[in-house]
Every structure is written in structure tokens, then in C-alpha cells.
Amino acid sequence: MATNNPTGLDAYKPAQIADLVESAGVAKAALPLTQMFTLAVLAGAFIAIGGAAYTMVMTGVDAGFGPARFLGGVVFSLGLILVVVGGAELFTGNALMVMAAVDRRITLASLLRSWSIVYLGNFTGSVALAVAFAFTGLLDGTMGETAASIAQGKVSLGAVEAFMRGALCNMLVCLAVWLTIAARTVAGKILAIIWPIAGFVLLGLEHSIANMYLIPQGMFAGADADLAGMCFNLAFVTLGNIVGGAGGVALAYRLAYGPRAST
């Protein structure tokens, strides 16, 4: 019997994904304020849970040991799995909304409104989880030493390093989101998330929302880091995340498949 899918893969094709991404961008921009902010707080908390699990995995091992970092990345993937499967609004993944903006399906004002509200909600959820973990007692021992080391490493990055690591990171995050849209099953979406996310953690790249948890977590654990250092890191990592996700993935696929790619 003839088939329209010679690959045999039960997944949407790239041109179909592009259209779905644009439609999702329109829906995201139209969310009411309360719903958008609530879902963003949840996303920040979900990423924070992944960050906490990553911290524990890295406790007691050499932070530069590749296999350990890879395992940490697999565990950190829990955060994006919760966001995608559970349903939440994540700033870094929402860089893909640029596709809808370029094709004028949403306005620049609505794009910036969405990004701003989601970023603030992500920050709220991430920091709230850092405060919660500070009261668990888990940061008083060896996990706390790891948390402090992670935070100190992040605030020690220069502007160019933070920006470039942020850009490369969000290329992988947005590709992970892109692949989840291709998948038709929950299991497929989970598998699509793990490899790009584990890859960026393995490589030591920078994710702004994860840093909203990891830096405060380290500060609560006694890291030699302060609010100014955190703001410096977040500023350049966030800019990198926008460039990598919006330019490196969203606009690239928009150029490849044109406006409102159809099947």
C-alpha cells in the first residue's frame, strides 16, 4: 500500500512543525495575564526541580568528569519534561514565538508582553523553589558545597562567555521543543527532550531560567556570589538565549520553510 511517509516515522514533518510552532505562538500570545503568569511560575518551579536534581547528581563527583555531567544533564531534563508534558510557559522555549511575529500573526508588542510576563513568572517560580530548598536542610551538607560551587562558576563568567554559552544553550533548548512538537506521543516527546538538554548540560552551556534557581541556591549554601553577580550573569545569558533561540532556530526554520509552512 502506498504511503505518504516513506521514513516510517510516526512524527510530523519539519514543514508541519513550522506551521504548528507558529500556531502555538499565536495561542501563547493570546493567553490572559493571570493564566500566562501562573503557567510561567510553574515552568520556573519545574526547571528549578530539574536544577536541584542536577545538583544532587553532581554531588561527590568531579564536576569536569564528562559521564557524570551527561548523567546530570539527563536528570536535569526532568524540568523541560514537566514543562512540555505537564503544560507551562518557559521563556527560553518561547523564543520560537518569533516565527509568528515575523509573519505578522502576532504583533511585536504582544511578543514582548508575553516574553516579559513569562520571564517574570519564571523568575518567581525559580527563586521560590530556591527559598524552599534553603529550608529543607539539604543545602547544609555536601549538596550545599556543590550548589555553592555551581553558583560561583556561573557568576565568574565574563560577558562574552555568558552570552555565547547562552546562545548555544538555547539553540539546543529550542531544538528540543521543536522535536517535541514533531513527536505524536508522550514517550516520543520525553525522548526528544532528553538528548538536546543533556547535551547542553554536558557542554557547560548557560540557561537563564535554570540560573534563576542555581545561583540563588548556591547563595543560600554560602557561595561567594551576590545579587549584582547574579544580575550580570542573567543579563548576558538571557540576551544569548534570545539570540540563539530566536535567531539560531526560529528564524532559520522560518527562512527554510517560508511563511506559515503548510503540509
The tens-digit pLDDT sequence of the chain (263 residues) is 344 554 556 788 989 999 999 999 999 999 999 999 999 999 999 999 999 999 999 999 988 888 999 999 999 999 999 999 999 999 999 999 999 999 999 999 999 999 999 999 999 999 999 999 999 999 998 999 999 999 999 999 999 999 999 999 999 999 999 999 999 999 999 999 999 999 999 999 999 999 999 999 999 999 999 999 999 999 999 999 999 999 999 999 999 987 754 44
Query: Would you state the pLDDT for residue 35?
Result: 98
Specify the CATH superfamily of domain 14-257: Glycerol uptake facilitator protein. (1.20.1080.10)
Query: Angle CA(36)–CA(42)–CA(48) in degrees, nearest 5?
Result: 135
Sort 13 into a burial class: Cβ within 10 Å, 0-12 / 13-18 / 19+: middle
Query: Would you state the pLDDT for residue 64?
Result: 82
Query: Would you state the pLDDT for residue 260?
Result: 58
Query: Would you state the pLDDT for residue 128?
Result: 98
147, 214 Cβ separation under 8 angstroms = yes
CA distance 170 to 174: 6
Query: Would you state the pLDDT for residue 164?
Result: 98
